[in-house]
Structure 1
Amino acid sequence: MVRKIFRVLLTILGVVTGFFVADSIINSNYIMNLGYFNNMVAKVSLYVFATLSFGIILFLLSPIFYKGVSKLTDAVEKSIGRLSASEIIFGAIGGIIALLIAALFILPINKLLPPKLEILGTVLSIIINTVAVVVGVDISVKRKDDIMALFEGWKKGSSKDKKGKVKGVAKVLDTSVIIDGRIFDICQTGFIEGPLVIPSFVLDELRHISDSSDGLKRNRGRRGLDILNKIQKELTIEVQIWEGDFPQIAEVDSKLLKLAQKLNGKVITNDYNLNKVAEFQGVSVLNINELSNAIKPVVLPGEDMNLTVVKDGKESGQGVAYLDDGTMIVVEGGRKFIGENINVTVTSVLQTAAGRMIFAKQKEV
């Protein structure tokens, strides 16, 4: 249907164009002096010939034009589809400002050019305006976050924060720490100040996980979305949704590190590999697992404690017990006491990247 309408409109445009072309030819001084179209029949014949010729030409070429317009429309839609609403708005504002600035240069140039070079002035105006729009849109979109931060700084500088809060370094949340859920409890205690930054590509990953056909993945994804809702609704900490993206970067972890560098912030994670890559790239990381290990009770060699041996260990004769916080204690010779409470003495403490292990033996009576 759209193709037919486009073809009809293009044919009408060809007929109108042919009419004006014929009219321009008949009324030109050169043709009038030659006297070719002094009688009405010749004039009507030219009008009919021109209108039919242009109408038929554009009618035949309309499929080619329609195909080109369709490709251009698809390309524009795909380009705009990769942009967020805020980026489109900033791009439009940047283009308008660039046109206004370009006008300051175009007006003096047009006045300085002689009348004979009026066409050159028009061409220069088109080129300058085009370049200005492209540069203005590009700068506005790329520096969107900086511009917004500048306006936020002016706003906070002009009026005091009613809640008396001090804005801290941006904390970028990754998918694993959101699904883990402990970030909600940590924020609730007040040990982490905002703003918490949740990238849109992390939200997309959570949505894909929650739509997975695998039941375990689906539950993990839904848990992550529930944690985000709790953070927004139940906590007073500032939460920001970052709507941008890095199309040239495929992996979500790499995007997180790039965003942290862009915002001059930190990444909150419990992913060991992401932690190591971030250290290599010079990005600050707050690791939830490291925090958990750091706040566990200190156990020193020589300390006595009462434990319940729950299972046998890897080595012969060993038993395994656990503290309330989940720390594993290997009891030498404790295998024969499985299911019993015994008094032990700590012999050594081993700190590893995965956590802390405590070695003990039965207390001598």
Structure 2
Amino acid sequence: MLKKVLRGIFTIIGLVIGYIVGYAVLNNPTVKEVNFLSTAVGTVSSTIFIMLIFGVILFLISPRIYNSISNLIEYAEKNIQKLSATEILYSAIGIIIAVGITSLIGYPIRKISQLLDSDLGAALGLIIILLLNLVAAIIGADVFIKKKDSISMLLSGLKKGTGKEKKHKPVVKTIAKILDTSVIIDGRIFDICKTGFVEGPLVIPNFILDELRHISDSSDSLKRNRGRRGLDILNKIQKELDIETQIWEGDFPEIAEVDSKLLKLAQVLKGKVVTNDFNLNKVAEFQGVPVLNINELANAIKPVVLPGEEMKVLVVKDGKEPTQGVAYLDDGTMIVVEGGRKFMGSPLDVIVTSVLQTAAGRMIFAKLKE
């Protein structure tokens, strides 16, 4: 329906253009010298003929014009959907500032074109000014979108600086804690924040939320449950804790991997990544990005076990070696007992021989007490 209406509108536009062109042509002194066109019948019939030509032309090309407009609107909608409300606001501000600057630059060009005593010079000056404004608008929007975080931090700093009541108060600098997908799904971050050992703000990037949403919509029931658990943990942090949380709505389109985006964001915000991913921890360490590893914290607060200590354990499964048995402490620490395989299911008194401590966990090696 819309296509038919637009086709009719374009046809009417073609008729109007034909009337304007026909009027201009028939009023030309050279054309008036033609006997037939100098009469009223000739003038009217020629005008109608020219109107019909332009009307038919616009009628025939209107589908292509409609498709071009539809593609342009669809392209604009896709690109606008990728932008957050903050990015749209900053792009609008950038366009206004850039066009204002180019208007000042284009003022001398406009004056020079007005001094030229020809329509061509004036038209050329107008075209140059329009092109300058277009290029400046694109550059201004792009610059303000890319620098929105720096501009926001500058504006917030100026706002804090204008407060008279805060002039003599010491400012405590807080470091942003950027949450990884794995640590959100793990859930222990909620308990750690609840104890007050971690200060805000907690930053949840928008691309992490998108990843959690995709995991929640997975056809695999295990992945789906993990994703929903992560979203539930975020809701609990926002509703039940007093810690400050922020949603970072930006993105890094040039970076494909989520982990790389996370490290880039930590560098931009000068914050720390909170994770329990051992591989991400190593990559962050290589790139010089500070990391708070939940597993390292859990290992740090476990009771200290020294070689030579005695303990009572229950062997529950076989070890890798033929004579080894495996037991576990209450906190989940694995104990490898030499010669414990034949005592599976029985409580044993063992002596700790060594302790292996890594970022991925802790492992205790023990032998049977003689």
TM-score when normalising by structure 1: 0.90
1:308 aligns with 2:313: yes
State the partner residue of 1:203.
209
CA distance in 1, matches of 2:133, 2:30: 37
1:297-333 Cα offsets, whole Å, 9 max, x none, are 22222233x4232325424554443333222223344
Matched residue pairs, number?
362
When structure 1 is superposed on structure 2, of 306-315 and 103-112 the one drifting more is 306-315
The residue correspondences of 1:320-339 to structure 2 (distance < 5 A) are 320-335=326-341, 338-339=344-345
Which amino acid in structure 2 is aligned with residue 326 of structure 1?
G
In percent, how many aligned pairs have the same letter? 62
1:150 aligns with 2:154: yes
Which amino acid in structure 1 is aligned with residue 23 of structure 2?
D
State the partner residue of 1:130.
134
State the partner residue of 2:87.
87
Q: Secondary structure at the match of 1:49?
A: helix
State the partner residue of 1:275.
281
Q: Is the 8 A contact 2:315 2:340 kept in 1?
A: no
User: How far is the alpha carbon of 1:46 from its aligned partner?
Assistant: 2.3
State the partner residue of 1:54.
54
State the partner residue of 1:115.
116
**Unmatched segments (≥5 aa) in structure 2:** none
State the partner residue of 2:247.
241
Q: Is the 8 A contact 2:323 2:339 kept in 1?
A: yes
1:113-133 Cα offsets, whole Å, 9 max, x none, are 423322221121111111111
User: How far is the alpha carbon of 1:203 from its aligned partner?
Assistant: 0.9
TM-score when normalising by structure 2: 0.89
Q: Is the 8 A contact 1:174 1:268 kept in 2?
A: yes
Which amino acid in structure 2 is aligned with residue 132 of structure 1?
A
1:349 aligns with 2:326: no
CA distance in 1, matches of 2:312, 2:326: 10
1:170 aligns with 2:171: no
Cα 1:15–1:59, aligned 2, differ >3 Å: closer, same or farther? same
Q: Secondary structure at the match of 1:260?
A: helix
**Unmatched segments (≥5 aa) in structure 1:** none
User: How far is the alpha carbon of 1:73 from its aligned partner?
Assistant: 2.1
State the partner residue of 1:17.
17
1:236-260 Cα offsets, whole Å, 9 max, x none, are 2221111122223222222212222
CA distance in 2, matches of 1:228, 1:165: 28
State the partner residue of 1:105.
105
Which amino acid in structure 2 is aligned with residue 171 of structure 1?
K
Which amino acid in structure 2 is aligned with residue 214 of structure 1?
D
Q: Secondary structure at the match of 1:360?
A: strand
CA distance in 2, matches of 1:32, 1:312: 109
CA distance in 2, matches of 1:123, 1:301: 84
Which amino acid in structure 2 is aligned with residue 125 of structure 1?
I
1:227-277 Cα offsets, whole Å, 9 max, x none, are 000111112222111112222322222221222222222211111122222
Which amino acid in structure 2 is aligned with residue 347 of structure 1?
T
Q: 1:266 aligns with which of 268, 272, 286?
A: 272
When structure 1 is superposed on structure 2, of 341-350 and 64-73 the one drifting more is 341-350
User: How far is the alpha carbon of 1:201 from its aligned partner?
Assistant: 1.5
State the partner residue of 2:2.
2
CA distance in 2, matches of 1:126, 1:29: 35
User: How far is the alpha carbon of 1:109 from its aligned partner?
Assistant: 2.3
